[in-house]
Amino acid sequence: MVTQAPVKDAALQAAIDQAKQNGCRVVRSTVEGQSYVYRSLNRAEWKKLQKLAFAASEEVDGSISATKAMQYREDSEDELVKLAIMSPSTDNLQGWPAGNVPRLVELITKLSGFDEVEIVTEEL
């Protein structure tokens, strides 16, 4: 569920304003009764995560190992959540309900446009 309720925390509001000024999209969602404020990722952040994922999945000969990629997936999900979640604090991420992180990853990637977008093209 996505809500647009006003934010009471002044520091959080300032962080939201800053994120929006930087071109990010910010929303609040409730997952399993817990409210989360998160923002979209920008290209530089996305590339950094992708680079780490490729480096972690690369074999000595330069090929990509599917097993290694799967093993790294959990770590990369944590990294993504830490980057995008603005509230609550992600310091105690290991203590969060297990299913919330993958669900938040889905929501964050969708907010970052990795889903259906409407594209109209015309020749000029």
Partner 1 sequence: MPSFKLEKDLLMLRQQHEQLFYVKVTLESDIFEFIYRPLTLAETKAVSKIGPAIPPYLVNEEICKWCILAGDPIEPGALFTTAIASLADHLSDNILSHSGFNDPENFVRLLDEKRTTLDTLEGGIEAFICTAFHGLTPLDVQNMTLHQQVDRLAKAERMIGNQLPVGMTAQSEKGKARKRQSAEAAWLTSKEAADKIDVNKEALQQREFVTGGDLLDMNDDG
List contacts with partner 1 (CB under 8 A): 22-25, 40-47, 50-51, 54, 112-114, 117-124
Collect contacts of 10-13 with beta carbons under 8 A, ≥24 apart: 12/37, 12/86, 12/87
**Cis omega (within 30 of 0) on the bond before 6?**
no
Residue 111 CB, nearest distance to partner 1 (Å)? Answer: 9
Those residues with Cβ within 8 angstroms of residue 82's Cβ, 6 or more apart along the chain or in another chain = 90, 93
Residue 83 CB, nearest distance to partner 1 (Å)? Answer: 11
User: Measured from the CB atom, is 10 or 120 closer to partner 1?
Assistant: 120
User: Measured from the CB atom, is 60 or 98 closer to partner 1?
Assistant: 60
